[in-house]
Amino acid sequence: MPEDNCGVLVFSDGTTFKGKLFGWVAKRESFGEAVFQTAMSGYQESLTDPSYRGQIVCFTYPSFGNYGVNQSDMESKKIWLSGVVVRDLCEIPSNFSATMTVDEFLKSQKTIALTGVDTRAVVRKIREGGAQTAGIFACPENTSTAELVAKVKAQPSMDGQNLVKDFDGVDGNIFVKKYLTQNNVNTKSLIPIAVLDFGIKYNILRELIRAGFYPTVYAGDIALGTQKGFSVDSYHGFFFSNGPGDPSVVQNGIKNIKMLMETGKPCLGICLGHQMLALALGAKTYKLKFGHHGGNQPVKTDYRKQVIITSQNHGFAVDEASLKKVTAAGAKFEVNANDLSAEGFRVINDRHKIMSVQYHPEAAPGPHDAAVVFKEFHALF
């Protein structure tokens, strides 16, 4: 890597961190909400997780790229995040399945990154000051820090951003057909469900099939009545996916969920889908200080009488007080054991069959403690 490949991470309050650029260096600058990710492995899954759209992600594990990149660890068709910040880039990966280095992968995806950064200091910065807009820049020769800060401040906040409009379900359906064919799955034995795509991960679709479902994917933020092939009567239940951005502004998605929820058929929401399901019920959402991003979030689940360690990736959360006001008697709830934020709820009665979790039961990356959620969803049918 050329010694003159100087780069800098600039926060909206003027805080800066220097390092060396890698990936698509030609981009010269990129903007996004700065967050940190605490998983110790699974960087490729994180890079291709659509929930990171519009964010610059600081990876806390010090070494990055050790096992390269391969096709089987993709969680979507491409990288969605705006930039990457790491402590140490491994340029010579060791893994029999690797087809390229992470540097080559970022170049192919036109994504800029920064290495040699004091990532512990970046994490402290975000934890103390909260997630805020930042930019990665090639070190400018004749530009002051004040000018870079002005560029960062001109960028929109994550609050109020609808980032799910490009997710149309097409890529998800391609993945489903490929997976079913490659694994010789008997589709006649599967329960047909409709999936609303707000930025779905491949492993969610994979786990739904393994749990006994045949998912057909539709655009989440387009009125279902206008989408070719959709009919409520064609499906036994509905699933609402993860995704990026502010859930409160995805109005068509919330309307879709409300309509499907009122059919009385089983519904499961994950992450952004969970937040919008709560909004469809009449609850409220709010922005967390720095979000939950990683594979080590403890969730207390009273109805299972256990604490599970979960994979999470979200910057917004459901306001639990408002949720309890709009859910029927007998509803069950889950909370984060660290900050007591809402992590899930269940409303099972004569009118509704709703399961909803903030965490990612499919993991990728992360622990598999919560994989039971898919079996519990199947039990509702």
Residue type, 66: N
- Of these residues, 292, 293, 314, 360, which one is catalytic? 360
Q: Which two tokens stand for residue 125?
A: 């910065």
- Of these residues, 75, 267, 271, 352, which one is catalytic? 271
Q: Computed from CA positions of residues 371, 373, 376, 378, in that sequence, does the dihedral angle turn out positive or negative?
A: negative
Q: How far apart are CA 176 and CA 85, in angstroms?
A: 32
Which has the closest alpha carbon to 83: 145, 29, 43, 163? 29
360 is known as an active-site residue: yes
Q: Which two tokens stand for residue 97?
A: 């399945």
Contacts of 256 (CB under 8 A, 6+ apart): 196, 220, 221, 223, 224
Q: How far apart are CA 208 and CA 214, in angstroms?
A: 7
Contacts of 112 (CB under 8 A, 6+ apart): 7, 21, 23, 24, 25, 27, 28, 29, 30, 83, 84, 106, 136
Q: Which residues are catalytic?
A: 271, 360, 362
